């Protein structure tokens, strides 16, 4: 699919008008077309590799974690965290490396900044293809992975736990292998590609904004502003590594210590990372963002970074509050299960809706305060207007993602611990070992929920930057000022309606894909239990391969519809309204309608994703909380109701929710790449 799209992009870029900047730099249509396509394919390739590395590490680490759990909980935790850390660091490394290589290649190859060629401040616009390629593959990784993992999970739970009454991860369940493989596909591969794409899109949009701001302010040496994002994320590798290595294991196997709370240990590591990130961020702003024109500007930008880091911490804390059973919301949700299935669903949905309030307030404060800090930084253009506002928001987004390595580690930790639990259950280890892996698994659920919160927060901030980058690009192409989008114009209002609708339709298709595939799995598992009665008393071996084949082929088939919707709709809307605008004499109509579609889709998408992720995570942990023995424990009526809630929450939190963060950023990057066809 990436190759088909690459040809379409090539065609669009070969037949469009060139911008004055390109003519000044001697870049022909063909050159810019090939550059965009090459960076698109490179982004797609790197995004794929990022997902692959996550899987590769995870399937090798899970056995080691389950083996370590026989010795001590602390050792199991250490191995799981370090395995997650390895793949997380590779992912961040790829993002920085890919952009740096492209930047350096184009810089040398196009002879940037020599007389008669292009300005260094225009160079980042050539990299938009990379961000689009990354988000394109990430969307399919997330959709396909989400459909795969949840169809297997729902199918295994409905027949295994509810109908047959066998425990989770029991080897007698024909869908159990598909379920465990799915955890890797959905969490390691998909989240790896997702955060890779977040970082890539954010580096590129910050480079574009840094470049345009340096150009407007006539700064002598703009390269500091352009390369700043790459430096921040390189420091991220260092500070996250220190945070990961601060979690150390103890090898005294003789003492049976009480199980420490793994969440507390990981939070300690996170605090170490954050402290170091604040230090390195301050150093890099002073080093790269200091200019003679505004000697105190770097301090304002350092504060913007601090705003971003605090936002990240707040997001992690809020997600934890709503999804961890140590806090009130999940306990109340578990309590509602004691009165039946319906009340559990009502409580879960209302919890999810309520959980959108705090994050939105946090994002709002962050965007406004970062913008204001940037505006007052003292950087002004020729006519004396302050211009640092948008770059301030860009710096805040970098601050938020400056601990991405450690956050991604906490996420990769989840499926590794989950699989380790499955291996312990299947190899029939003693109950004490299963207790250790259960604690790690419950923590893994919370860390997965916190990472999703983090990913949405960064998507919200990053998409705000990408709007501005899009508007800059459109005004460069059209040679007309394009500063604001007026919703009071009917066509533009309609664009907004379409954008919000896109989010709901996309989520619906993603959830129904899981439902359809899960039905196939349920029928297959039931068939095996009827045709092979020996499975239940271990006389016959279930046919695991059939279930794996069903979910693998179904997820590849089902992910095309929502994916195509996301790619085609902004292009279609832009082209239709461009034709309308042409006939009514409004030259920028197509671009404006797309901008409004993008903004509304972002707003609706953030809220929808927060709702889906939190509701799903809370349902899952309410079930885990009951399984610890409250309200009658496993097998009680309350537990059955909680399993229903968990089943409903599965496609919410692992298919539709995470696909939405990628969708938000992909809409933003696709409009950047396709901007020429809207004019």
The alpha carbon of 95 is separated from its chain's Cα centroid by a whole number of angstroms, namely 14
Confidence of residue 470 (pLDDT cuts 50, 70, 90): confident
380 DSSP β-pair partners: 386
For residues 607 and 657, give the distance between their C-alpha atoms in angstroms, rounded to a whole number: 10
Asked if residue 254 has pLDDT above 50, the reply is no
Helices and strands of the chain, counted as H and E runs: 22, 0
Asked if residue 628 has pLDDT above 80, the reply is yes
Q: How high is the pLDDT of residue 250?
A: 56
Which of the 8 DSSP states describes residue 314?
H
Q: Which two tokens stand for residue 248?
A: 């150390």
Confidence of residue 224 (pLDDT cuts 50, 70, 90): confident
Exposed / middle / buried, residue 458 (Cβ in 10 Å: 0-12, 13-18, 19+): buried
CB atoms within 10 A of CB 516: 14
In 3D space, the residue among 456, 405, 444 whose CA is nearest the CA of residue 323 turns out to be 444
Q: Is there a contact between 401 and 239 (Cβ–Cβ < 8 Å)?
A: no
Handedness of CA 154, 158, 160, 161 (dihedral sign): positive
| DSSP conformation letters of 329-347 | HHHHHHHHGGG-HHHHHHH
For residues 202 and 391, give the distance between their C-alpha atoms in angstroms, rounded to a whole number: 12
Asked if residue 336 has pLDDT above 90, the reply is yes
Q: Is there a contact between 526 and 156 (Cβ–Cβ < 8 Å)?
A: no
CB atoms within 10 A of CB 564: 12
Q: What percent of the chain has pLDDT over 70?
A: 96
Q: Is there a contact between 175 and 155 (Cβ–Cβ < 8 Å)?
A: yes
Confidence of residue 211 (pLDDT cuts 50, 70, 90): confident
Confidence of residue 255 (pLDDT cuts 50, 70, 90): very low
In the chain, the N- to C-terminal Cα span, in Å, equals 26
The alpha carbon of 585 is separated from its chain's Cα centroid by a whole number of angstroms, namely 40
Q: For 386-443, how does the pLDDT look when each residue is reduced to its tens digit (9 = 90+)?
A: 888 888 999 999 999 999 999 999 988 988 998 999 999 889 899 889 888 988 888 8
CB atoms within 10 A of CB 364: 11
386 DSSP β-pair partners: 380
Q: What is the 3-state secondary structure (H, E, C) of 177-212?
A: HHHHHHHHHHHHHHHHHHHHHHHHHHHHHHHHHHHH
Q: How high is the pLDDT of residue 42?
A: 93
Q: Is there a contact between 666 and 598 (Cβ–Cβ < 8 Å)?
A: no
The conformational region for residue 151 under phi > 0 = left, psi -120 to 50 = alpha, else beta, is: alpha
Q: Which two tokens stand for residue 245?
A: 């290595």
* 20-29, 94-103, 132-141, 553-562: the lowest-pLDDT one: 20-29
In 3D space, the residue among 324, 352, 232 whose CA is nearest the CA of residue 282 turns out to be 232
Confidence of residue 508 (pLDDT cuts 50, 70, 90): very high
* 70-84, 288-302, 567-581: the lowest-pLDDT one: 288-302
Mean pLDDT for 209-229 is 84
């Amino acid at each position: 699919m990436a190759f088909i799209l690459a040809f379409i992009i090539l065609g669009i870029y070969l037949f469009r008008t060139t911008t004055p900047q390109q003519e000044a730099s001697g870049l022909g249509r063909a050159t810019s077309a090939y550059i965009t396509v090459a960076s698109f394919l490179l982004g797609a390739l790197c995004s794929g590799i990022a997902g692959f590395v996550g899987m590769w590490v995870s399937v090798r680490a899970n056995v080691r974690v389950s083996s370590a759990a026989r010795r001590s909980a602390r050792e199991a935790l250490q191995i799981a965290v370090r395995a997650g850390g390895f793949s997380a660091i590779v992912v961040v490394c790829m993002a920085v490396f890919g952009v740096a290589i492209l930047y350096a290649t184009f810089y040398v190859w196009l002879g940037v900044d020599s007389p008669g060629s292009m300005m260094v401040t225009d160079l980042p616009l050539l990299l938009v293809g990379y961000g689009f390629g990354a988000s394109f593959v990430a969307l399919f990784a997330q959709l396909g992975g989400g459909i795969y993992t949840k169809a297997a999970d729902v199918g295994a739970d409905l027949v295994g736990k509810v109908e047959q009454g066998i425990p989770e991860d029991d080897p007698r369940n024909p869908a159990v292998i598909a379920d465990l493989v799915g955890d890797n596909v959905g969490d390691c591969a998909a989240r790896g590609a997702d955060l890779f794409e977040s970082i890539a899109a954010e580096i590129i949009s910050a480079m574009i904004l840094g470049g345009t701001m340096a150009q407007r302010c006539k700064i002598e040496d703009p390269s500091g502003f352009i390369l700043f994002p790459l430096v921040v994320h390189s420091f991220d590798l260092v500070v996250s590594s220190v945070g990961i290595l601060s979690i150390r294991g103890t090898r005294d196997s003789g003492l049976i210590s009480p199980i420490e709370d793994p969440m507390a240990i990981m939070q300690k590591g996170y605090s170490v990372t954050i402290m170091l990130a604040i230090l390195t961020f301050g150093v890099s702003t002073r080093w790269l963002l200091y200019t003679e024109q505004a000697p105190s500007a770097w301090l304002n930008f350092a504060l913007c970074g601090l705003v971003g880091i605090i936002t990240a911490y707040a997001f992690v804390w809020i997600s934890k509050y709503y999804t961890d059973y140590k806090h009130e919301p999940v306990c109340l949700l578990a309590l509602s299960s004691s009165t039946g299935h319906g009340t559990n669903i009502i409580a879960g949905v209302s919890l999810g809706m309520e959980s959108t309030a705090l994050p939105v307030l946090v994002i709002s404060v962050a965007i406004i305060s970062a913008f204001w800090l940037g505006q007052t930084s003292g950087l002004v253009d020729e006519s004396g207007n302050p211009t640092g506002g948008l770059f301030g928001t860009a710096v805040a987004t970098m601050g938020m993602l400056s601990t991405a390595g450690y956050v991604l580690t906490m996420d990769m930790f989840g499926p590794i611990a989950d699989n380790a639990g499955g291996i312990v259950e299947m190899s029939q280890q003693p109950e004490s070992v299963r207790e250790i892996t259960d604690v790690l698994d419950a923590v893994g659920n919370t860390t997965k929920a916190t990472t999703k919160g983090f990913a949405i927060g960064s998507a919200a901030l990053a998409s705000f930057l990408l709007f501005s980058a899009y508007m800059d690009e459109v005004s460069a192409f059209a040679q007309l000022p394009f500063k604001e989008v007026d919703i009071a114009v009917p066509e533009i209002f309609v664009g907004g309606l379409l954008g919000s609708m896109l989010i709901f339709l996309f989520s619906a298709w993603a959830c129904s894909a899981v439902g359809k595939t899960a039905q196939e799995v349920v029928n297959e598992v039931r068939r095996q239990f009827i045709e092979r009665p020996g499975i239940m008393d271990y006389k016959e071996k279930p046919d695991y391969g059939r279930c794996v084949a069903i979910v693998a082929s179904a997820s590849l088939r089902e992910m095309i519809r929502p994916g195509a919707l996301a790619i085609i709709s902004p292009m279609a809307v832009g082209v239709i309204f461009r034709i309308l605008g042409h006939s009514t004499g409004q030259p920028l109509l197509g671009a404006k309608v797309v901008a409004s579609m993008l903004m509304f889709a972002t707003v609706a998408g953030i809220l929808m994703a927060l709702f889906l992720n939190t509701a799903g995570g809370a349902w899952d942990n309410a079930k885990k909380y009951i399984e610890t023995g409250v309200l009658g424990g496993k097998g009680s009526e309350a537990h059955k109701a909680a399993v229903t809630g968990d089943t409903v929450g599965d496609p919410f939190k692992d298919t539709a929710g995470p696909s939405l963060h990628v969708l938000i950023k992909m809409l933003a990057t696709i409009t950047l790449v396709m901007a020429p066809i809207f004019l």
